[in-house]
Structure 1
């Protein structure tokens, strides 16, 4: 009996072995080049990239010929200003914040409002379904003595508030957060920056442990930075209170690091006695952009005719960072290294050409005197919306006889990735450093409507990879934020993924804003026949 059982077990085992051998015999091989090894030896010195690659600096650019980097200005909206002072408690606008609330599906704004005596500022609340037409909803209870859209502030020296919605805090009562500046006892001895919380962006409570951060006499710009896993706040240097740009970080919105000084005045600021008034910051994919209100020629003295066009006025210049901590100013041809400020050059021309958002026509436009970008610009579809407060009159308007000054909030728009482009007036090329990415398609953001762009892939030694030459590439001849590069009859370029390569872009009367590795195809293959 036991022998019979042993024979049966042996038969089962032999059957399993045969089946296993048959299965192994039917295993299939992946097509050549589909699977690749990635390790430190394979990668070598290649720059491993992810996401959209911009051309603000030279990190991925090895060489170029016949192309130049160009700072592009946003376009002011024709309906500007679309938020104006039209309530009894608002006569002038100041530092403000804006966001698109994806959970609730509409735009929200917290704007600083003053009366013309400049004695008390309130934070007021506005909403919009499209970001163009705004409403000022009543935020007070129906039985209140006064109905208005004021949500915070009103003390003698309250100022500089920055607001954001925090997606990470488990305490719903602290869903919205604010950093603001104040003189708690009404004197400069207690000048400081403090925090407030709100469950809905309307009903605010100051933090009981205030103050938290040394004083900032300009817009405080806080937000949760997912890349750093920390709260950050960009604000003014000090003490002593000085027009330079600083930053502080926190893990809990209560304990803040000592300030880090990011920008001091440089050679480019000397020709027009430029001070760095404040900087709003926009996290943008793997990048950060700063919007500096540059204050030129501060004075309360009479302004000579040759300086009237710019003295005691503010416009906006651009800054750039890859980590939010180490920043560079952006000039007419992209980011400039700090060491370059020691060079001899025409810094006056450089400064003029570095203007990102200019003031309006002097004495005529609604924003001819000053501009402050709202914290923070918003990406809507394929455009970047940069909201800003602007006004007539110079910074010290009463000393210059600028009467009946007004202010409002408007909008300037830029195409996605449009900060700095590579431009070719004729034929030109740009070759990247050795890169490596994961993806099976290459998307470019470019305006080639007046010419063309082609791309070829090279190995690290500069040899063209078969099937990915310039001649294999179908020319792109459109103005397209999401153009897909095609070699031969296919957009699938997985053969060059996960391996060190260089890309060479051939431009002919075109502007190239960015490129992005994408995954757009399925790569399933059967394992067995």
Structure 2
């Protein structure tokens, strides 16, 4: 393979990686367009989101509970199994109860194929952390954390001794001890607590007229594949809630770090990237808060989920006190934007909506959603999303509040985040190292190849439904057709058709 030498170097020229799909979730691959229509596609929920794949209805006796996706799904090459860490949560446990440390428990599940799951390795519940209150004890101060909160995990194959590593939030530890700690394990079952990585409210920033403090509890880490770095996703929030709306303006900051096992210099964070507007604009509502986020590499860009919680205000896709997901994207991992197109139900920005709150007798996904830190799993022609959701949100009394539901599954077409449903688009000039053009599409798509002056070099039509349909021009490949000249692609999408991505390989 070799790079086609471009004969001009316009400002909009893009060099695309061999074999990597180019999406239309942003405008990076669109230099010009006419009558363009794009749609955000919601993953299709198994059983309509009415029945969880995994559920924990009670904990510690008869305490009403839920199972949150406040963890990660990883693949253990030694076990040759997928391992899921999910957080069981019994929110009604009295704050004065000496057993309150049990209100959250990290549970472990395994699967040979990423689709069928059992508890532990043998179908027996595997409560890996904490195993006792002493796991929350600090011998230096003689004090206990009250419980653990959000967790994120990686499997480090380069560490033969402790390949399992995690960030876990320890809540309500006094004297600056609350925050994220590094955890390590040889087998993913017995965990050791290491150094404190982040201190709760260790940084104050003034932005958009607000005093924002962080990090907060919904803070995670993601290891970038093929790169020697990690992305920290850090929660900030307003130091005092808004008196009229009670909005805390929970927000998201992003920071690349070289090591996940060393304390983070928070002074490197100069601004918070995603802050809700606190008003009905920019896709937000008055009560929206960005309560959580995930991020993962997808081809040439970053994608992620943004958890939107709203303490008030019922909508057609989420009841007051509940949380749902929007899709966000970034080209550098630090500067993010919401994908603002209407979804297939006609709602702008909504990627994964709640079901009816309390539906299916308190088993459905109508409440407070959570997501695993690793992003979707790919099996065959599908992207598999596992997500957590209680059936009831936060606007209920103890015993009902954030209970029911469990871990759910939804499916999306490969590259199927956003489709072009009509109109014409022309790409920037493209440099590429492949020979063949493929498109992911349904219906009728006209594909044209242009030189830098807009001269037509070749044209063809594609019909059908194919995630990897080869495109040839009177039998010629795009490489042969371009002849080493600067190359643009022009796609014309007939009404009722969908174009998801293109790839040159």
Structure 2 matches for 1:292-331, cutoff 5 A?
292-296=306-310, 298=311, 310-331=319-340
Instruction: State how far apart, in whole Å, the 2-side matches of 1:402 and 1:86 are.
Output: 11
Matched residue, 2:90: 115
1:332 deviation in Å? Answer: 1.6
Instruction: State how far apart, in whole Å, the 2-side matches of 1:255 and 1:515 are.
Output: 41
1:447 deviation in Å? Answer: 1.1
Structure 2 matches for 1:466-481, cutoff 5 A?
468=458, 470=459, 473=460, 475-481=461-467
Is 1:374 the counterpart of 2:345? The answer is no
SS of residue paired to 2:272: strand
SS of residue paired to 2:359: coil
Of 437, 444, 459, 1:442 maps to: 437
Structure label with greater radius of gyration: 1
1:320 deviation in Å? Answer: 0.3
Q: Are residues 77 and 205 of structure 1, via their aligned partners in 2, closer, same or farther at CA, if it must alter by over 3 Å?
A: same
Is 1:361 the counterpart of 2:370? The answer is no
1:231 deviation in Å? Answer: 1.8
SS of residue paired to 2:282: helix
Q: Are residues 508 and 124 of structure 1, via their aligned partners in 2, closer, same or farther at CA, if it must alter by over 3 Å?
A: same
Cα pair 1:139 1:151 within 8 Å, conserved: no
Is 1:244 the counterpart of 2:213? The answer is no
| Residues 275-302 of structure 1 deviation map (CA, whole Å, 9 limit, x = unaligned) | 0000011211111111011011x15xxx
Matched residue, 1:150: 127
Of 102, 113, 116, 1:130 maps to: 113
Instruction: State how far apart, in whole Å, the 2-side matches of 1:329 and 1:403 are.
Output: 29
Is 1:66 the counterpart of 2:41? The answer is no
| Unmatched segments (≥5 aa) in structure 2 | 94-99, 137-145, 202-214, 240-247
Cα pair 1:163 1:178 within 8 Å, conserved: yes
Quick check: which one's helix share is greater? 1
Cα pair 2:448 2:456 within 8 Å, conserved: yes
Instruction: State how far apart, in whole Å, the 1-side matches of 2:469 and 2:288 are.
Output: 40
Instruction: State how far apart, in whole Å, the 1-side matches of 2:58 and 2:410 are.
Output: 25
| Residues 51-100 of structure 1 deviation map (CA, whole Å, 9 limit, x = unaligned) | 22111111221222233121111100128411011675483222231134
Matched residue, 1:162: 152
Q: Are residues 252 and 239 of structure 1, via their aligned partners in 2, closer, same or farther at CA, if it must alter by over 3 Å?
A: farther
Instruction: State how far apart, in whole Å, the 1-side matches of 2:325 and 2:431 are.
Output: 36
Instruction: State how far apart, in whole Å, the 1-side matches of 2:380 and 2:341 are.
Output: 26
Cα pair 1:369 1:392 within 8 Å, conserved: yes
Cα pair 1:445 1:514 within 8 Å, conserved: yes
TM-score (norm 1): 0.75
The farther-off stretch of 370-379 and 43-52 is 43-52
Matched residue, 1:523: none
Q: Are residues 213 and 484 of structure 1, via their aligned partners in 2, closer, same or farther at CA, if it must alter by over 3 Å?
A: farther
Q: How many correspondences in the alignment?
A: 441
SS of residue paired to 1:494: helix
Structure 2 matches for 1:72-87, cutoff 5 A?
72-78=41-47, 80-85=51-56
Cα pair 1:250 1:257 within 8 Å, conserved: no
TM-score (norm 2): 0.79
Is 1:464 the counterpart of 2:445? The answer is no
SS of residue paired to 1:172: coil
SS of residue paired to 2:329: strand
Structure 2 matches for 1:106-505, cutoff 5 A?
106-118=81-93, 119=100, 120-137=103-120, 148-153=125-130, 155=136, 156-167=146-157, 170-183=158-171, 186-187=173-174, 189-207=176-194, 209-214=195-200, 216-226=215-225, 229-237=228-236, 240=239, 243-253=250-260, 254-258=262-266, 259=269, 261-266=272-277, 267-268=281-282, 270-296=284-310, 298=311, 310-332=319-341, 352-365=347-360, 366-376=364-374, 377-398=376-397, 402=400, 405-424=403-422, 428-448=423-443, 452-465=444-457, 468=458, 470=459, 473=460, 475-491=461-477, 493-496=479-482, 498-505=484-491
Q: Are residues 172 and 139 of structure 1, via their aligned partners in 2, closer, same or farther at CA, if it must alter by over 3 Å?
A: farther
SS of residue paired to 2:190: coil
Instruction: State how far apart, in whole Å, the 1-side matches of 2:499 and 2:78 are.
Output: 34
Q: Choose between structure 1 and 2 for higher RCO, CA contacts under 8 A separated by at least 6 residues.
A: 2
Instruction: State how far apart, in whole Å, the 2-side matches of 1:103 and 1:72 are.
Output: 36
| Residues 3-49 of structure 1 deviation map (CA, whole Å, 9 limit, x = unaligned) | xxxxxxxxxxxxxxxxxxxxxxxxxxxxxxx998737x644542222
Instruction: State how far apart, in whole Å, the 1-side matches of 2:384 and 2:258 are.
Output: 29
